[in-house]
Amino acid sequence: MGRVMALDLGEKRIGVAISDSTLTIARPLRILTRTSRKALIEALLRLIAEYEVERIVVGFPRSLSGEEGPQARWVRREAEALARSLPVPIVLWDERLSTVAAETYRAMRGQRRREPIDAEAAAVILQDYLEAQRAR
């Protein structure tokens, strides 16, 4: 059984998280710096092969009211472009408050915000997705 990878897409950085092989636990993997779409696709293809990824979950930033604003439309377009170039399905997943949750977890562990939180936010998104799949 393959793993699930999550992406927290940003214009400058992309947070990446990966599930364990049992699809139970998500963990932050790394932060990719966006230089070009081609470089991003190449990096994702390497990660897909290395971790035997079967699906990618992309954080979808709806507003608190559930509406799709400009950032959500941008993420949708980016995810569609990635889907045309990657060999695995891509799922958009509601990421409302994922960064807030990641910052809370960091604070609970006594860590200060020294580094970007993108990979941890991706792990929050992925954990939410994994738990929703198990509940089904």
CA atoms within 13 A on the CB side of 103: 7
Give the predicted TM-score (pTM) of the model. 0.85
Can you give the pLDDT at residue 18? 98
DSSP E strands, 40-104: 53-60, 90-94
Three-state SS for 69?
coil
Per-residue model confidence as pLDDT tens digits over 15-24: 999 999 999 9
pLDDT higher than 70, residue 33: yes
Can you say whether the dihedral through the CA atoms of 23, 123, 72, 45 is positive or negative?
negative
Domain 1-18+58-136: assigned CATH number: 3.30.420.140
Question: How far apart (Å, rounded) are the C-alpha atoms in residues 6 and 127?
Answer: 9
pLDDT higher than 90, residue 95: no
Question: Domains of the chain: which residue ranges?
Answer: 1-18+58-136
